[in-house]
Structure 1
């Protein structure tokens, strides 16, 4: 299967991500079948597409008439019918391995032999999902970001048996949707963006848990001093603290006490009225620019840069892919590799070693690749090379 052979796309799921991916594919000119388990869910998803396409047309963001786009979308509750003539199948069911494996086994039974089978999983093992089929070489991860219509990034993830042909065709398909894909070349938990985002969230949680900072100090410093679009606690309150907790628990990642306390109390963020900030009886997110003056933002950024070095050194992604993923996937002003080269990787390494000496925590252990870069003199823009060549 090559890009030229793709005409029909089946999207299994009609929720926010499912109907968003269906819309993106139809906008790009593909025929789409959107399927979910209940007609009501399918109808609601289709209505959301109608609303969105009409808004895009009103604002002049698309050339096709809304009716032409919508004519490319069929809907059904029958999985076998949805995938029967699909060239690409994109699974968008809940983040539960048992459910995904069940769905992929059924896809395998009914989809054409040469179809590409893709999962929109944001953290689960593509290899384990693929093992539910008799064609794991044709299974690939395509992690779209929410909302798919607006977000440009897609992570294209190799499973253990995914062939280059499958991954390259999935990559080209994502480009044909107007997206910017990056390769995740090894099937690691949380892939690229969520792995690098991890220390941005976790390190401030550890610092506040230990009484070394406050929530408002951390958010104010990372936004107003370092230029991130949202503070770590503000971000968690918006996305749901319990989701991040679950992902860390599933990956065997040590959970900061403060995060665990919030989840145990049922304080998940905006959705429950209270998280790190109080949205019911308080002012919600209320940090101010001056609140972050005493916060050690470099401590957070050093752990972020170290995580990027782990991924690159382990062959999961390139420095360019990491930086592209973080700028497009999270809205960061620059990627961690570029920022590390700007700060100086020798300075980052010294900071990590100091933190490791002080706390002894594994998360401060410098990545071997970071040590290698420094030892090779690849430390910064000024040196002519770091993660990147200058």
Structure 2
């Protein structure tokens, strides 16, 4: 299983393509935009340079990794002879269903279809294919070349054989795979997103400011970054989408996105990728905490 197709040239797609190529898989990288693929290759080149400077790889390994990647805008050409397809497109259910419905038609019968989705049901995705036993979640963490975890999500019909193969492939990439079942948010986001949402509520209700909330979680709970900075890193639109999946899946109001998060997404303040979220990222790095509009200035007073 040495030919892998990666669909999507965004942040996750370029990280997944990078890692597979680094471990000598032949990567067919697909996106509808040739310019997005070009930018993605430039990102991989830059990230390989970081690994080179740290002594993790040498020049020959960098050159071989880049040589292992071929880019395509024609998905049919890309999937020919592929043993595994990893979809890393936008976290949108309709887009993913269309991709998998098409993949099922054009991929060889033995091809495993995996999704990097962070919250969308693998069982639902598998339902649009005629090979549900070969559909699985392969949820990498961002940044993919650095983070060790792969959350391996079994759909309702995923076979033991396919799950075992994906666990082995993850280990081949020197990742640590963890097998979980297909329920909204899986494990990672079922636990993480309510924490981020609660941090946004604390800001919204005037409990504390952005940097204060993040400092409490970093120094008090030993988190490497605070929940509001992490939300900016993930993308506030992605956080909102995952919370909506949780809310729809469980029907529990505790998962409803905070009104402040909804307002910020509607305003286009999505975090690092737009230069502004809970922090100002306009210079490419976290600069200063921003006080979002419509956050309450103080805790509400009650009359007894």
Give the deviation of 1:155 after TM superposition: 0.7
Alignment of 1:84 with 2:84, yes or no, is: no
Q: Where do 5+ consecutive residues of structure 2 fail to align?
A: 248-254, 291-304
Equivalent of residue 153 in structure 1, options 132, 149, 155: 149
* Partner residue, 1:232: 227
Change (3 A) 1:179 1:256: same
Distance 1:83 1:202, change over 3 A: same
Classify 1:178/1:93 alpha carbon distance in 2 versus 1 (closer, same or farther; 3 Å): same
- Name the residue aligned to 1:312: none
- The aligned residue for residue 138 of structure 2 is 142
In the alignment, the residues of structure 2 paired with residue 271 and residue 67 of structure 1 have an alpha-carbon distance, to the nearest angstrom, of 29
Residue 136 of structure 1, CA deviation: 0.6
Gaps of 5+ in 1: 1-5, 287-390
- 1:163 corresponds to which of 159, 163, 173: 159
Which residue does the alignment assign to 1:285?
A: 289
1:255 paired with 2:257, answer yes
The structure having more radius of gyration, on CA atoms, is 1
Contact 1:57 1:65 in 2 (8 A): no
CA RMSD in angstroms comes to 2.6
CA positional deviation for 1:208: 4.3
**Separation in structure 2 between the aligned mates of residue 55 and residue 208 of structure 1, nearest angstrom:** 36
Contact 1:88-1:116 at 8 Å conserved across structures: yes
Corresponding position: 1:98 with 2:100: no
Q: Which one of the candidate residues 51, 56, 61 is aligned to 1:65?
A: 61
**Normalising by structure 2, what TM-score?**
0.81
Partner in structure 1 of residue 182 of structure 2:
187
- Deviation string for 1:24-71 (max 9, x for gaps)? 111112112111113222233233333433443454312553332333
Q: 1:104 to 1:213 in 2, by over 3 A?
A: same
Instruction: Kindly report structure 1 stretches of 4+ aligned residues shifted beyond 6 Å.
Output: none
Distance 2:210 2:43 in 1: 36
How far, CA to CA, are the matches of 2:264 and 2:16 in structure 1? 33
Contact 1:13 1:92 in 2 (8 A): yes
- Listed as ranges, the matches of 1:16-35 within 5 Å are 16-35=11-30
- Residue 9 of structure 1 contacts residue 31 of structure 1 at CA under 8 Å; is this kept in 2? yes
Greater shift in the superposed pair: 151-160 or 260-269: 260-269
1:53 to 33, 38, 48: 48
Q: Which residue of 1 aligns with 2:106?
A: 110
Name the counterpart of 2:6: 11
Q: Does the C-alpha gap of structure 1 residues 182 and 274 become closer, same or farther in structure 2, counting only changes over 3 Å?
A: same
- Tell me how far 1:13 sits from its aligned partner: 1.9
User: How far apart in 2 are the matches of 1:57 and 1:265?
Assistant: 39
Query: Match of 1:242?
Result: 237
Classify the secondary structure of the residue corresponding to 1:156.
Answer: strand
